[in-house]
Chains A and B, each alone.
Chain A
Amino acid sequence: GEDVEQSLFLSVREGDSSVINCTYTDSSSTYLYWYKQEPGAGLQLLTYIFSNMDMKQDQRLTVLLNKKDKHLSLRIADTQTGDSAIYFCAESTRDDKIIFGKGTRLHILP
C-alpha cells in the first residue's frame, strides 16, 4: 500500500539551513507536498512539486525530488524561530487520495 516515511525530529540552530527528508512509495504520484502545522492549528500547504519536476524554489524554500529513489526533501534557508513547527510530507495517490507521513518536528536552537 501507499506509505510516506520521514524522520520525527530535527534540531537546527537559528540562521542555519534545515533539511527535512521524506520517502514515498507511489511512483504514480502526480503531486508531492509539504504541509506545515503550527502549535494548536490545522495544517497549511507550504509548497508542492509536480512529479515531472526535479526542483522548485520559493523564497527560502527549496524542494528537491528524486523520482528514481522516491525521495523528497525540503530545505529551509536561514531558519528562523517562526519556522518551528511540524512539517508533513504528503503524496497524491493513483486514486486521488492524499497520504501523509508522520511529520517532522523542527526545533530551533538559539
Chain B
Amino acid sequence: DADVTQTPRNRITKTGKRIMLECSQTKGHDRMYWYRQDPGLGLRLIYYSFDVKDINKGEISDGYSVSRQAQAKFSLSLESAIPNQTALYFCATSRGTMNTGELFFGEGSRLTVL
C-alpha cells in the first residue's frame, strides 16, 4: 500500500463547482504539502502545514484552501473551480530539514475543470 494516498486520482468537473482533493499518509510525518504541476512550470507550492495547528500559504494559494484534519490527513479545496486550475496536484510529506527534508509524494490527482 502507498504511504501517501491521494483521492481522487482523476476528476473532471465544471467551472464554479466546489472540489476537494484528499491526502492521507501512514508515514507518521508532521509536515504535509500540496503542490501543483503544470507542463513547463514545474511544481509550485500551494499550501503547507508543519503540524496539525499550522497552516501556511505557498507561492500560489489564491483560489485554494486547505484543512489539516489530523496528523495523517491534509485536504485541498477549490471553492469555485476555474479552468486555469486544471493541473496535476501532488500531496507530499516530510520529516523536515532537521533530517534531510526529503519529500515523499503521492501519485497525484489529475483535475480537469471544463
Contact = CB atoms under 8 A, between A and B. Distances in A.
Name the residue among B45, B92, B94 with the largest chain A CB count within 10 angstroms.
Answer: B45
A95 B4 CA distance: 24
A96 B30 CA distance: 13
Contact of B42 (A44, A88, A92): A88
A100 B35 CA distance: 10
B64 interface: no
A97 B106 CA distance: 18
B108 A45 contact: no
A42 interface: yes
Contact of B97 (A41, A92, A102): A92
Contacts of B42: 88, 100-103
B84 interface: no
Interface in A61-110: 88, 92, 96-103
A100 B92 CA distance: 13
Given A8-B40, A31-B97, A31-B100, A97 B58 contact: yes
A43 interface: yes
Contact of B41 (A48, A96, A102): A102
Interface string A8-45: 10000000000000000000001101010000011111
Contacts of B92: 43
B105 interface: yes
A56 to B, nearest CB: 12
Nearest to A102: B42
A99 B59 CA distance: 9
B107 A98 contact: no
Interface of B: 4, 33, 35, 40-45, 48, 50, 58-59, 90, 92, 94, 96-97, 100-103, 105-108
Interface of A: 8, 30-31, 33, 35, 41-45, 48, 88, 92, 96-103
